Chain A
């Protein structure tokens, strides 16, 4: 056995240990730092997919979905193979000469596949060649009805991301949001890339600000039950079953589940002005967290569940504050500008995204570190940006903006690059919330 083999096996061991760790704790402590400026993306090429199905998903579409997923992962830079003189489509993939050509052009990973039909199902085979190992290192077969071809491609993308990062990919996550429908605002859920919007409520009036339960089974949101009262409701996505969690006097808004799913923190104005309360969903015990004459709202839990960020106008205009999960140790976080609101604590804990009003009185997205030491604005230009929500991998934000006139949902990298609009058509889309993994 060569020294090389030993090194490879030790690497396997490390990966095994990492996998066991992920399965046991549900979260890894050390992340691949794709968010560091000096991170080198892995050059990847998609050779294409042979064959086609009887349905509308052509091989070209499958390749495009995969390339978009890989690009959004921020782990890979997707090479333009034809530009490099490397033939795509109609290739068997597993051609030595092709691998050599790609490696010589600096591409370290190649992906290709086949599409076929088996009975009523679509069969998608995906293969991965790794230039470093000079081997075809993975092959996956996905079988399912034609309605889930996009999902199968997303699974393949997530497999590739996981293979090269040890972290689950986000291609199969979803985004909940609010859309105007027949004069009312209703909840919707769409794929993370904006495809397949599904209407979740049809109440005919106002449903606002959905948030996911950590197990992804439920959305919690504000519903205007009548012309006078608002409640906080829970809806089970798979069944459509509804349940009212909070029905106090006044406004009941901005609910947020704790990371363990046991507690719901929300704002209610039953005391005259908006205050934060915590509801233990198991014991139904209600605990008041804030107590002052100003408005307190928009709680966002830290990933550990030990602290939360929230909006308060106790100092005049709205600013971001932090406090312990029991309401202790309140301190102001933002001091720059006279309007900071809608905080969203990143899943890795390193940033709190929020809406900041610039000197030109534009409402844009800013990031601030929980110690207040680092602060940066990540969107610019016209329009009102609102409701930032992090992807579960912490590499993206989804938010609403009127930058093109109508309010639409956009995705952007955490550093402000690669803005992408997710909604099309419609009248008004707002309040996006990214699902957990």
Chain B
């Protein structure tokens, strides 16, 4: 009875080993440099490991070799190619900044967690609206910005709420919404880099930008 159990166990092991046998061949992994790195299991205890016992018929070595490794191997990362967009975006930004500075429009600021237009912001936007109406061919963009507190993702949504609040208020003052694009930068393009309230105040902003023709 006892011997039969042992035999059954052994046969089970052998059967399983045969079943997963194909996975036991030598593995090769593709290295990041494009050259190959190979891996081989050495005999139990290795040639040099003098303390090892003689290898039994079925070793754990075989089990190790059958591990469910990712056949696709290592993650490779191609060398980055500068995008065609790089120069164009930088040029767009320069033209935008020049046109915006020339117009002298006022930005508006928000309270923590808030996208409500404050009394101070109403005054600024009234002045802006006059200029915008006096220059009917000019297209504008309202950028919503946030301070560094809060998550990147939610701040993108918050920034969009701020930009749209500014657009809606300008529309109330008679500026056609079709002239007012909105974009949110969340906390990704801060005006001020310090970690204090005076800086945070600068960054909770609706920034009004003149789009170059």
Residues of A within 8 A of B (CB): 1, 5-6, 9-10, 12-13, 15-17, 19-20, 22-23, 26, 92-96, 99, 114, 125, 127, 129, 135-145, 147-148, 151-152, 155, 159, 162-163, 168, 172, 174, 184-185, 189, 196, 198-206, 208-209, 215-217, 225-228, 230, 237-240, 250-251, 253-254, 267, 269, 273-274, 295, 297-298, 311, 313, 317-318, 339, 341-342, 355, 361, 363, 384, 386-387, 402, 405, 430-431, 435, 437
Complex CA gap A1/B52 in Å reads 20
Give the contacts of B132-164 with A (CB-CB under 8 A).
141, 148-154, 156-158, 160-161
When A9-B6, A189-B77, A228-B141 are in contact, do A141 and B42 touch as well, CB less than 8 Å? yes
B32 within 8 A of A: yes
Chain A minimum-CB-distance residue to B194: A405
Asked if A339 and B150 make an inter-chain contact with CB atoms under 8 angstroms apart, the answer reads yes
When A125-B46, A139-B49, A185-B188 are in contact, do A387 and B151 touch as well, CB less than 8 Å? yes
When A135-B53, A139-B42, A202-B82 are in contact, do A251 and B77 touch as well, CB less than 8 Å? no
Give the contacts of B46-64 with A (CB-CB under 8 A).
46, 48-53, 58, 60-61, 63-64
- Which residues of chain B are within 8 angstroms of A238 by Cβ–Cβ distance? 76-78
- Which residues of chain A are within 8 angstroms of B82 by Cβ–Cβ distance? 202, 204
Closest Cβ of chain B: how far from A351's Cβ, in Å?
Answer: 18
Asked if A144 and B153 make an inter-chain contact with CB atoms under 8 angstroms apart, the answer reads no
Asked if A23 and B68 make an inter-chain contact with CB atoms under 8 angstroms apart, the answer reads yes
B 161-204 to A, binary, CB cutoff 8 A, 1 in contact else 0: 10000000000000000000101110011000001000000000
Complex CA gap A216/B70 in Å reads 11
Q: B5, B9, B36, B153: which contacts A254 (Cβ < 8 A)? A: B153
Closest Cβ of chain A: how far from B21's Cβ, in Å?
Answer: 12
Closest Cβ of chain A: how far from B78's Cβ, in Å?
Answer: 4
Complex CA gap A253/B64 in Å reads 42
Interface centre among A26, A155, A184, A205 (most CB of B within 10 A): A205
Complex CA gap A197/B18 in Å reads 42
Q: B37, B75, B149, B157: which contacts A251 (Cβ < 8 A)? A: B157
Q: A19-B20, A201-B80, A297-B157 are in contact. List 17 more A-B contacts (CB 8 A).
A: A10-B9, A19-B66, A19-B67, A137-B60, A138-B41, A143-B39, A162-B64, A185-B188, A196-B32, A204-B87, A205-B86, A238-B76, A295-B161, A311-B154, A355-B151, A363-B149, A405-B195
Could you name 16 residue pairs across A and B whose Cβ atoms are closer than 8 Å?
A6-B9, A9-B6, A12-B13, A13-B9, A136-B45, A137-B60, A152-B37, A168-B69, A204-B82, A204-B90, A206-B185, A206-B189, A216-B70, A217-B72, A341-B154, A435-B75
Q: A151, A202, A217, A317: which contacts B32 (Cβ < 8 A)? A: A151
Complex CA gap A12/B63 in Å reads 8
- Which residues of chain A are within 8 angstroms of B63 by Cβ–Cβ distance? 12, 15-16, 19
Complex CA gap A202/B80 in Å reads 7
When A1-B6, A144-B35, A297-B153 are in contact, do A13 and B16 touch as well, CB less than 8 Å? yes
B89 within 8 A of A: yes
Chain B minimum-CB-distance residue to A202: B82
When A206-B185, A237-B77 are in contact, do A227 and B92 touch as well, CB less than 8 Å? yes
- The secondary-structure label for the interface of chain A is mixed
Closest Cβ of chain A: how far from B171's Cβ, in Å?
Answer: 14
Closest Cβ of chain B: how far from A45's Cβ, in Å?
Answer: 15
Closest Cβ of chain B: how far from A93's Cβ, in Å?
Answer: 7
- Which residues of chain A are within 8 angstroms of B5 by Cβ–Cβ distance? 6
* Nearest 10 CB-CB pairings of A with B: A144-B37, A204-B86, A139-B42, A139-B46, A94-B49, A240-B78, A295-B157, A136-B45, A16-B16, A94-B51
Chain A minimum-CB-distance residue to B87: A204
Asked if A144 and B31 make an inter-chain contact with CB atoms under 8 angstroms apart, the answer reads yes
When A206-B185, A208-B188, A227-B141 are in contact, do A19 and B51 touch as well, CB less than 8 Å? no
